[in-house]
Structure 1
Amino acid sequence: MNLKHALVMSAFLIAGSTAFAQTGNLKKAKTNIAKFEELKGAGSLELALPSLKSAQEAINAAVVHEKTKELAETWTYASLVNANLASIEKSAAYAQTAKEAIEKAKALDTDKVNAANINVAEQLLGQYNFNLGVGFWEGQDFPSAYKAFDAALNYLPGDSTLTYYSGLAALQSKDYANAIKKYNELVPVKEFSSHKSIVVDLPKLYMSIQDTAAAIAAAEAATVAYPSDNDAAVQFIEYNLITGNEQKVIDKITSQMAKDPSNKALPYYLGIAYNTTKDFDKAGAAFQKAVDLDPSYFEANTNLAISIMSNVRETLNKANNDRSLKAADYNAIVAKSKEDIKRALPYLEKAVSLQPTNVDALTNLKNYYDFMQNEAKSNELKAKIESL
């Protein structure tokens, strides 16, 4: 946050409007708040407080006096006094009074003579609400923290840090709509320190409200903003796989693999993409790369075996549906299929060794032995599955 009220105060507080005659209470309020600001700036808040209280007493009289109650300057100083009191005493009542005084001052200050001091009061109220939000955050009252941060933004519009905190509080409250709104406000602010995490997290927020189209668009925008970031690339791949856009991401995955060849997840995702398009040979080759990178990668071992078995199944289905095949040719295809499927066994066994109680892994291995007509092994696995 970027609060500059001390500098603005010293420059403008003692410069009153000359369009109206000074009255005793207004002048007293101005003098005392200038003294308060001077002492506070010197680090003597305790010594400064009596001056603020004197300014409060004087301005309370000025806002009801016939000669001063309709002056923009009166309400400007009323806002300054009450905004300072709100910040120091952590008082919602003073904050509300300051807010009302700001609104009155703006309405009366048609020539903008008091604009600088009104801005100071707004910064003070912004800081008050920010501090309030921090207190709520520390107490894990995230809905109240969001309200306070959002109120602070009314007085400090465009403050990137405050907008971020507001978005985080909304996120913690599972108020995804407001979290998305705040994050989107920060997307154009590329110089903000947390910009990358905001851009990469935004698609997740869209997914939280099941807006997959917006999630994919935001995920793609993240890859454009940070083309070398692995998290952004993988997220884009995952979301497209989830929503059935496999072909779209194959080139993206291949490109990312060239940049990050040691990332075992990328060839795994490529295998998933090829599997869904029923290109089992390419899927198997991709899963094999993932296994080569990490022989204990459970999901890659499992899916490599399934790709091999699926390829065999497709071959047999074609043979079964081809009425022109001679018996000898058909038998040759079946024999070859039984040899081809043996390639899956080491990966099926590896998956079971990695997760011995995983029902899916045991079922896949049982299916293999069913195909191979190994009744003893099949029954053994059936018993294990049933025991689980």
Structure 2
Amino acid sequence: MKKLILSMVLVGATTIAFGQKKVIKEAEKGFKSGDLKTALTAVDAAATNPETSGDPATFLLKAQIETKIFGSDSSNTMETVQTGAAALGTFNKAFEMAGSDKAAGVGKEVYEEDLPGVPDNLRPYSIYTLKNVAFDKGIERYNDEDLEMAYEFFNLAGEIDLKDTTIHYNAGFLANDLGKFEDAKRHFGYLIDVPEYNKLNAYYFMVQILSTEEKNPEAAYELVTKAKADYPTDKVLAEYEIQLLLQLNKMDEAMAQINDALSNDPNNTGLLLRSGYLKEQAGDLEGGLADYKKAVEVDPNFFEGNYYTGALLLEQATKMLNTLNDLSDAEWEKQSPIIGKKADENYKDAVKYFEKALEIKPDNTDIMIILYQVHTRLKNTAEAEALDKKLTELLGANWQEN
């Protein structure tokens, strides 16, 4: 009797095991034939049954089915992304259950290489297949100008491979463009961690995010210092460093860096402008003016160079005229014509720089107002009237009261 009962138990166990294998076979058949709904239902049943739920191969099959469903969904919406994310989670579970070993068994199958151009029936449907399909969907969405979804697919692909520089550059670029600055920093950070990658653009983006969007010049300067260790001769990084030193009020260090940079690139208009600014701030107006003028000599169409030169000439003229206030009446009578004449020379000199700046930016009403005021002082009636007419057209009849 005991023998009969034991035999019945064994038969029951064999029947259950056979039944579960049949479910797995059904899932495999649906996966291969494209009946993915049936395949997913079958593999979900196997994944919850005690006889097959402990087998990493069950979850590998489920991940493969989910990947195929992900690839077959041409709507490419957020729901599609969620399907892909579920497949990634299932792949990771299968890999962990298999001992996290990429060299053998199910772990090896999870990370089997997915070669481009292989016919669909020969694709391994591994985690790399999921990555490649997500990347292709990102490209499709980008070409259709759906940047939000393009980012989501690139981001999904990037979660699979932290060292795929193309994916992370695309994801970082789009995240930055979409205002997702934390995401952008994460993707550019992955690029910076890849030793052989040319990471200059990643550094540029990261510095801009830290200094401009997050208003954190300390962190930006720290990153520039790291970047310059990798790329010591890069001129853009050198300019970023100077700009950040100025933001941090480290004037002496900024001046030292400017002088060093100018020794290698003496005709760099941006550096000359910064050098002039630092000298001006330190009270060396003549030195600042010389740098501004040199920047304009190098590039006559350099707007900032023309504007800063004109502005400093006006500042010098104002300082000259202000000295008259401290004189006695007798001295004022004596010095006023002399100092007034020198100030007028500065005003006349400033005109040509502001006129060039206005030529470069012909709709800049701020420069028109400055020129109107200078021509009025110099009694250049025709020029002042022409500017008044232009400003009235642009700003209204009461422009001087605003």
Both proteins in one fold, TM over 0.5: yes
| Counterpart mapping for 1:90-101 below 5 A | 90=73, 95=84, 98-99=87-88, 101=90
Does the 8 A contact of 1:80 with 1:118 survive in 2? no
Match of 1:307 in 2: 312
Structure 1's 347 and 101: CA in aligned 2 closer, same or farther, altered over 3 A? closer
Aligned to 1:321: 326
Deviation at 1:283, TM superposition (A): 1.7
Residue 325 of structure 1 deviates from its aligned partner by 8.9
Give the SS at the match of 1:63: helix
Check the 8 A contact 1:256/1:266 in 2, yes or no.
Answer: yes
1:178 to 178, 183, 186: 183
CA positional deviation for 1:295: 2.7
Q: Paired residue for 1:166? A: 171
Where does residue 266 of structure 1 map in the other structure? 271
Greater shift in the superposed pair: 82-91 or 247-256 = 82-91
Which residue in the other structure is 2:350 paired with?
344
The alpha-carbon deviation at position 203 of structure 1 amounts to 1.8
**Aligned partners of 1:72 and 1:106 also within 8 Å:** no
TM-score, length-scaled by structure 1: 0.71
Are positions 1:102 and 2:91 aligned together?
yes
Change (3 A) 1:376 1:320: farther
Partner SS, residue 152 of structure 1: helix
The change in CA–CA distance for 1:223 and 1:280 in structure 2 (over 3 A counts) is farther
Query: Which of 193, 197, 202 in structure 1 is aligned with 2:201?
Result: 197
Q: How many residues align?
A: 351
- When the two chains are superposed, the root-mean-square deviation of aligned CA atoms in Å is 4.3
| Residue 69 (str. 1) matches residue 52 (str. 2) | yes
Q: Which residue of 1 aligns with 2:374?
A: 368
Question: For the residues of structure 2 that align with 1:96 and 1:336, how far apart are their CA atoms?
Answer: 74
Q: Relative to 1, partners in 2 of residues 1:130 and 1:234: Cα closer, same or farther, differing over 3 Å?
A: same
Matches within 5 A, 1:167-316: 167-193=172-198, 195-206=199-210, 207-239=212-244, 248-316=253-321
Deviations 1:65-95 (A, max 9, x none): 9684133243254246426634663585975
Cα distance change of structure 1 residues 128 and 322 upon mapping to structure 2, 3 Å threshold: same
Residue 161 of structure 1, CA deviation: 2.8
Q: Which amino acid is the alignment partner of residue 89 of structure 1?
A: S
Partner of 2:131: 126
**More contact order relative to length (CA 8 Å, sep ≥ 6):** 1
Unaligned residue ranges in structure 1 (runs of 5+): 1-21, 37-47
- Out of 171-180 and 108-117, give the one that drifted further: 108-117
Amino acid paired to 2:168: T
Q: Which amino acid aligns with 1:232?
A: L
Give the letter aligned to residue 205 of structure 1: I
The whole-number CA distance in structure 1 between the counterparts of 2:52 and 2:63 is 16
Task: Tell me how far 1:285 sits from its aligned partner.
Answer: 0.3
> Does the C-alpha gap of structure 1 residues 138 and 337 become closer, same or farther in structure 2, counting only changes over 3 Å?
closer
How far apart in 1 are the matches of 2:279 and 2:144?
49
The equivalent of 1:45 in structure 2 is none
Identity across the alignment (%): 20
Structure 2: runs of 5+ lacking an equivalent: 1-16, 75-79, 113-125, 395-402
SS of the residue corresponding to residue 276 of structure 2 reads helix
Matched, 1:116 2:105: no
The alpha carbon displacement at 1:284 in A equals 1.0
Question: Are residues 77 and 134 of structure 1, via their aligned partners in 2, closer, same or farther at CA, if it must alter by over 3 Å?
Answer: same
Deviation by residue 1:116-163 (Cα, 9 ceiling, x = unmatched): 233343333333333333333333333323333333333334433322
CA-CA distance at 1:199 after TM superposition: 0.9
Contact persistence 2:20–2:46 (CA under 8 A) = no
TM-score (normalised: structure 2) = 0.69
Q: Does 1:146 align with 2:137?
A: no
What code does the residue aligned with 1:168 have? F
Which range moved further: 324-333 or 154-163? 324-333
- Structure 1 position 359 matched with structure 2 position 351: no
- Compared CA separation, residues 375 and 178, structure 1 to 2 (3 A): same
